[in-house]
Amino acid sequence: MGLAIRAAGEGLTVDFVQFLKSGNSAEVKIFQQIPNIRYWCPGKHPFIMTKGPQPVHYEHAAKALWYAMEAVERKTHLLVCDEILDTLLFKTLQQEHITELIETCKNRVELVMTGRTAPPEIIEMADYVTRFSEVKHPYYKGVRARRGIEY
């Protein structure tokens, strides 16, 4: 999110696509106030970790991928695919879809992909790789996600 805001502050066009969230996380309010950030979420769905992927999750991921590809065609400067790598963890997208997106963006669009699951092939294709690793999280003690903190 910091990079998206920094790019927007420099006048660059930013497309921010959420692959797993339902469009109700708190950052959406900020994005809607910044004219050159185009935020997009395919719609609401149940929390995927509760029961695992359902048909709505596959549809959500496919729509988010379609939007991301369209953003490249619209010549966005920065494309942020929030939690796209976790679609591999939940198998709502195939790795080939993500590698195709990377290839499509190469030398055209600055691409940021977030999530936990990055296979070696995707790491190899990337220009930057940052690991943010969870050591402890209250969710695993039964604490529900809190608005403004987890979403």
Q: Tell me the per-residue pLDDT of 80-122, one tens digit each, with 9 for 90 and over.
A: 999 999 999 999 999 999 999 999 999 999 999 999 889 999 9
Give the residue-averaged pLDDT of 54-64. 93
Structural domain includes residue 150? no
Output the pTM of the full model: 0.88
For the chain, how many structural domains are there in total?
A: 1
Residue 148, in any domain of the structure: no
Answer yes or no: is 97 within a domain.
yes
Cα–Cα dist 71/38, whole Å: 9
In the chain, alpha helices (H): 2-9, 27-31, 48-51, 55-73, 86-89, 95-105, 120-125
pLDDT reported for residue 49:
67
- Identify whether 147 is part of a domain: no
pLDDT score of 145 more than 90: no
| Nearest CA among 61, 55, 52 for reference residue 21 | 61
| Cβ–Cβ < 8 Å for 20, 48 | yes
Q: How confident is the model at residue 147 (pLDDT cuts 50, 70, 90)?
A: confident
Range of the domain at 111: 2-141
Separation CA 94–CA 98 (nearest Å):
7
Answer yes or no: is 151 within a domain: no
pLDDT, average across residues 45-71: 88
CB 53 within 8 A of CB 86: no
Q: Return the CATH number at 89.
A: 3.40.50.300
Say which DSSP state 114 is in: -
CB atoms within 10 A of CB 151: 14
